[in-house]
Amino acid sequence: MTAYSYSDNVYLKNGHAYKNVTIIDTLGQYVLIQFGNLNQSIPISDIETVLKLPLIPGTKPIFMEETHYKPETSTYYPNMKFLPMVFLASAVAWNSLATASDTQNSIDAINSTKAPNTQIDNSQLERTKSRNEIVGYVSIVAACATLVLCFSDAQIEVSQNQITMRVSLK
């Protein structure tokens, strides 16, 4: 399984930006960033926003003047690798619920063809139907939860007194 690395893009109110850096710590009114081999502190009051984005291998930290931060829309979703699991869970759900329906049809057919005043033990078929229904419903929940995970994105905002991380769906 591949681990994804993230970098921070720190946008300042004066239009400058530090891209592909790492926020090490917040020290009172300052944010300490690692810029290459150097550590630099930036007053929190000078920061417009901080975005945590996936790190592209081989990308070096850069300082940019006059970037005039505009909110960026990320089109890269690191959790997209789980999308095949959505399809797999959906297929399992469909198969399990279809089998449960077929089992119920078999139970109904047996009950409609039995002779009056006779007992037929359908308990095995009922248990099979119940197991398939449970697997089907759990698979639907798993598919939905995984789909939400695939399309989640995180954004970090810095204000005067705090750093906030928001996870949102795009």
Which residues are CB-contacts of 38 (< 8 A; sequence separation ≥ 6)?
none
Query: What is the per-residue pLDDT for 138?
Result: 93
Residue 97 in this model has a pLDDT that exceeds 90: yes
SS3 96: helix
Q: Are 167 and 153 in contact (CB under 8 A)?
A: yes
pLDDT score, position 90? 94
The alpha carbon of residue 169 and the mean position of all alpha carbons in its chain are separated, in whole angstroms, by 8
**Residue 77 contacts residue 151 (beta carbons within 8 Å):** yes
| Residue given tokens 């921070």 in the structure block | 8
What local confidence, expressed as pLDDT, does residue 1 receive?
42
Amino acid 104: pLDDT: 94
Choose the weakest-confidence range: 90-94, 95-99, 159-163. 159-163
Predicted confidence band of residue 73 (pLDDT cuts 50, 70, 90):
very low
Confidence label for 105 from pLDDT (cuts 50, 70 and 90): very high
Percent of the chain whose predicted confidence (pLDDT) is above 90: 26
List the beta strands (DSSP E) in the chain: 6-12, 17-27, 30-35, 38-43, 47-54, 62-64, 152-158, 163-169
pLDDT tens digit string along 32-61?
A: 998 888 888 999 999 888 888 877 777 788
Q: What is the pLDDT of residues 120-148, one digit of tens each?
A: 888 999 999 999 999 999 999 999 888 87
Could you report the per-residue pLDDT of 15-29, keeping only the tens digit for each?
888 888 888 888 889
Question: For the chain, which residues make up each domain, given as ranges?
Answer: 6-76+152-169, 80-150
